[in-house]
Amino acid sequence: MLLGLNSFSQEIDKEHWERLDSLNKEAHALTSSDIDSAETINSSLFHLIKEPIDTLVLSNINSVQANIFYNKGDFEKSLKYNLACLKLRQQMKDTFLIGQTYVKFANIYYATNDYDKCRDYLKENFLWLKLAKVDRWVFANNRNTMALSFLAELQLDSAIKYFELGLQDLAGAPENYLMMKAKMYGNIASVYQYENKNNKALLFLDSAISISLENRDFQSSTWTYYKKAEILLSAKEYKKAFKNLKYADSLSSYSSTLDIRKNIQYGFFKYYLLIGENDSALKYNAKYYNLNDSVIEMQTNKNIQEIEAKYQVEKKQAALELVEEKATNLSLANKTKDLYIAIILVVFAIVAISLLAIYYSVKNKRKLVQLDLKIKENQLDEMMAIQESSTYSAMLKGQEKERERIAQDLHDRLGGTLAALKLSLRRPENSVGKEDLAIVDEAVNEVRSIAHNLSSGLLQKYGLNEALLQLKQTIERTSGIQLKVYLHQDIALLDQSAILGLYRIVQELVSNTLKHANASEISVQTNSDGTTFNLIYEDNGKGFNPKEVKQGIGLENIKARVKKMNGSLHVDAEKGRGSIFIVELNQQGK
């Protein structure tokens, strides 16, 4: 009888872990198409784990969770789950699975540009796979990532060496490894493109295209045709470049992303610009920017939805906890009241004094319940405030990241476009006057200035004072308003995040002055007494009443940045006499 019960219990445990394994595989399948659903399914599995542990299934659950966070760009959590996975697989002593886990560590450090650590983990992966006595072509992925780490540091000879070793490993590999070979061909072409060996690069790209088309991988084919067109444009083989752009464009409708499609339109723009057909160039330039705006809008909406969803979930959870707490306390109070009423009815005639004591006891307990409810409500308000602060912090990070991306696009894309347009206009057959060329030069300078103001790279390179001086030059040149700066030279107490925050605050205040104040003069002053650092911003505009001003995103951004630095903001303004803003930071500059 006891043996039968044990066997039945083991069968139930086996079915439980088989169910978890099935759900884990379902989450793994969704990782590439619906990452949020994959996370929801796989995260729920951790709450269903029970003794006795199936080590293999649990290691796979941790492995998929690591993949999910890797794809979402949360590398810290990805490392955490990979480490848990590795410990379980070391207990199993499965050399192949241990090796596969090490390659995931390598991929994380490659994605975070720590190439030395990446190569260290790839060496560990190589040793464990050798112990597992796997087929030679299994090493190809290791070789490819090793080569890419050298390519990222422009160690081209080492990159070629490992790509060639990878191709040797793939000799005789089964068909499901063909796309790995195509990927390597494309990567080798990138090396030769760096070395300006365009003919070799084109040969490897042709080989990659042949394999991709044979395997109906249209996305890889599209990208490879585009890469060919880029090389041919740089080699001034315009007809061949156009032909490859047409191939890429025709394939892009099958499975390509918006990023690939916008790059193809940019390729057409460069082609028509280089052959002197400016009208066609402008048409494709408009298509490129439309697709680029779609990419930005899609990413922005996704970020906003994720932040809003997280906020709403936490808000509802906190509210539900409060409701449950109120219900529990109310039920307890009602039960206590009913008990005392029953006692009073039984002993009413005998214990009048006891009745009075009971009455006061109930009254006091009711006050305690109300006080407890008040405390819970205050805790909910505090949680809401913390969540709102987190939301603003995430929004500021998103804005900063978007500023950097826009600055990079302005510098690389629009700056390059204007430079190419300038060269095109200087051709003898284009009858353009010096005044028109001067306008183009002015546009180039404006793009550079805007890119510098948007990017935090200027702050990192030259510091706050130099960035404010360059901002002064830009404002005085473009708006005609005089911007006076009085800068304290010793800002060593400020960390990089505080410097960036102060600079963004000045930019926001200057923008508000230009839009609303009708000022002719702005003053920016910084000073420090060793314990506090002050930034004083003043304009001689028409001023405003702080109590009447609407809470716009600009002022909220300033408040959020000051709060993030643990500083204080003082506003001294009234209608008719200008405005003064004072930001005060403590000794640590945070």
**What would the DSSP string read from start to end of 378-442?**
HHHHHHHHHHHHHHHHHHHHHHHHHHHHHHHHIIIIIHHHHHHHHHHHTSTTS---HHHHHHHHH
Between 206 and 318, name the one with better pLDDT.
206
Left, alpha or beta for 559 (phi > 0: left; psi -120 to 50: alpha)? alpha
Burial zone of 13 (CB within 10 Å; 0-12 exposed, 13-18 middle, 19+ buried): middle
Determine the topology of domain 479-585 in CATH.
Heat Shock Protein 90 (3.30.565)
Q: Is 60 exceeded by the pLDDT of residue 282?
A: yes
Helix (H) / strand (E) element for 521: namely: strand 521-528
pLDDT bucket at 149, cuts 50 / 70 / 90: very high
Residue type, 500: L
585: left (phi over 0), alpha (psi -120 to 50) or beta: beta
Beta bridge partners of 528: 533
DSSP annotation string for 484-509: EEE--S--TTS-HHHHHHHHHHHHHH
- Distance separating alpha carbons of residues 535 and 565, to the nearest angstrom: 13
Q: How many residues comprise the chain?
A: 590
CA separation, residue 443 to residues 415, 421, 451, 457, 515 (Å): 9, 11, 12, 21, 22
Which amino acid does the sequence have at 7? S
Give the pLDDT band of residue 354 (cuts 50, 70, 90): confident
* More confident site: 434 or 475: 475
Quickly list H helices, 72-139: 75-92, 95-111, 115-132
At residue 525, what are phi and psi to the nearest 5 degrees? -130, 135
Do 108 and 75 touch, CB atoms closer than 8 A?
A: yes
The Cα 378–Cα 322 span in angstroms is 10
Assign residue 530 a region: left if phi > 0, alpha if psi is -120 to 50, beta otherwise? Answer: left
Q: What's residue 313's pLDDT?
A: 44
Hey, what are 92's tokens?
């199993």
Helix, coil or strand: residue 94: coil
Predicted confidence band of residue 373 (pLDDT cuts 50, 70, 90): low
How many angstroms separate the CA atoms of 509 and 513, rounded? 6
Q: Mean pLDDT throughout 216-221? A: 87
Q: Give the model confidence (pLDDT) of 135-147 as tens digits.
A: 988 889 999 999 9
For residue 371, pLDDT beyond 70 = yes
Kindly state the average pLDDT of the residues 38-43. 92
Query: Alpha-carbon distance 569 to 219, whole Å?
Result: 52
Cα 356 from chain centre: 65
Residue 63: pLDDT above 90?
yes
Among residues 399, 398, 400, 384, which one has the least CA distance to residue 311? 384
At 2, is the pLDDT very low, low, confident or very high (cuts 50, 70, 90)?
Answer: very low
- pLDDT surpasses 60 at 314: no
**167 in Cβ contact with 208 (< 8 Å):** no
Q: How far apart are CA 373 and CA 322, in angstroms?
A: 8
Say if CB 181 and CB 217 are below 8 A apart. no
Contact 532/566 with Cβ under 8 angstroms? no
Quote the pLDDT of residue 309.
47
pTM of the model: 0.49
| Cross-sheet strand order for the sheet of 568-573 | 482-486, 521-528, 533-539, 579-585, 568-573
Q: How many CB atoms lie within 10 A of CB 503?
A: 20
pLDDT of residue 539: 93
What does the pLDDT average to over 124-145? 91
78, 79, 85 from 65: Cα distances, Å = 7, 10, 10
Percent of the chain with pLDDT over 70: 72
**What's 46's DSSP letter?**
G
Q: Cα(197)–Cα(189) distance, rounded to whole angstroms?
A: 9
Least confident stretch, 13-22, 252-261, 432-441, 569-578:
432-441
Query: Domain limits of the chain?
Result: 283-455, 479-585
The 10 Å CB-count burial string (b at 16+, else e) for 148-171 is bbbbeeeebebbbebbebbbebbe
Residue 308 pLDDT > 70: no
Strand-strand pairing, 521-528 and 568-573: unpaired
More confident residue, 290 or 423: 290
φ/ψ of 181, rounded to 5, equals -65, -40
Please give the radius of gyration of the chain, using alpha carbons only, rounded to the nearest integer. Answer: 33
